[in-house]
């Protein structure tokens, strides 16, 4: 009975609806080890998720949907994330200052890596948007020319 905050939990269907995915996808991520499978869940028992698990899944979905990373690549990032969480448990229990510093530095690197990927994406998208606007401009010019010609 340690830190019995009794946080709200969710079933797989609720989580799926909240995040806009199917339950199958969630189970698949668990299969790959992306979601921390409650290793003591017996065969046939319903899966239960807390807010932390939902947040983690949401992060996975962003890395995949927005940045187009493969699940394998996400595992590489998420593994580091998992070890960070594991170390965060250490945080409460055994807060050696050196350990704390290492945890924070690793976490920072991870977030920075993700920020870099997001920035790249934003740059490419901006170029695409410019291109589309140029195309739009030429179309409108030609359309205007057509109307002017009509007006003669």
Partner DNA sequence: TTGCTCCTCACGTCACGTGAGGTGGC
Q: Give the residues lining the site for a copy of itself (CB under 8 A).
A: 62, 65-66, 68, 97, 100-101, 104-105, 107-108, 111-112, 114-115, 118-119, 121-122, 124-126, 128-129, 132-133, 135-136, 139-140, 142-143, 146, 149-150
Nearest distance, CB of residue 59 and DNA, angstroms: 13
Judged by CB, which is closer to DNA: 79, or 141?
79
- Cα separation, 11 vs 79, in Å, equals 24
Give the H or E element holding residue 48: strand 48-49
Residue 14 interface partner, choices a copy of itself, DNA, none, CB cut-off 5-8 Å depending on type: DNA
Is the four-CA dihedral 115, 116, 121, 124 of positive or negative sign?
A: positive
The interface partner of residue 35, options being DNA, a copy of itself, none and the CB cut-off 5 to 8 Å by kind, is: none
136 binds, among a copy of itself, DNA, none (CB under 5 to 8 A by kind): a copy of itself
Taking the least distance from each CB to DNA, the nearer of 75 and 107 is 75
Residue 67 beta carbon to DNA: minimum distance, rounded to whole angstroms: 13
Which sign does the torsion angle of CA 21, 24, 27, 29 carry? negative
What DSSP letter does each residue of 5-24 carry, written as one string?
-----EEHHHHHHHHT--HH
Radius of gyration of the chain (CA): 24
Helices (H), 1-152: 12-19, 23-32, 51-65, 71-93, 97-151
Q: Catalog residues that contact DNA under the rule CB under 7 A.
A: 11-14, 16, 21-25, 27-29, 32, 43-47, 64, 70-72
Contacted entry of DNA, a copy of itself, none for residue 77, CB cut-off 5 to 8 Å set by kind: none
Residue labelled with tokens 């290793």: 39
């Amino acid at each position: 009975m340690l830190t019995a905050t009794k946080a709200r939990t969710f079933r797989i269907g609720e989580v799926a609806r909240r995040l806009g995915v199917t339950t199958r996808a969630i189970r698949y991520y668990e299969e790959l080890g992306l979601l921390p499978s409650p290793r003591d869940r017996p065969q046939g028992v319903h899966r239960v998720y807390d807010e932390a698990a939902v947040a983690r899944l949401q992060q996975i979905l962003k890395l995949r949907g927005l940045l187009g990373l493969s699940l394998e690549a996400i595992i590489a990032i998420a593994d580091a994330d998992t070890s960070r969480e594991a170390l965060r448990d250490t945080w409460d229990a055994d807060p050696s200052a050196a350990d704390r510093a290492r945890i924070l530095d690793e976490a920072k690197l991870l977030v920075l890596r993700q920020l870099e990927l997001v920035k790249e994406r934003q740059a490419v998208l901006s170029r695409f948007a410019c291109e589309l606007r140029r195309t739009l401009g030429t179309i409108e010019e030609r359309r205007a020319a057509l109307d002017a010609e009509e007006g003669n």
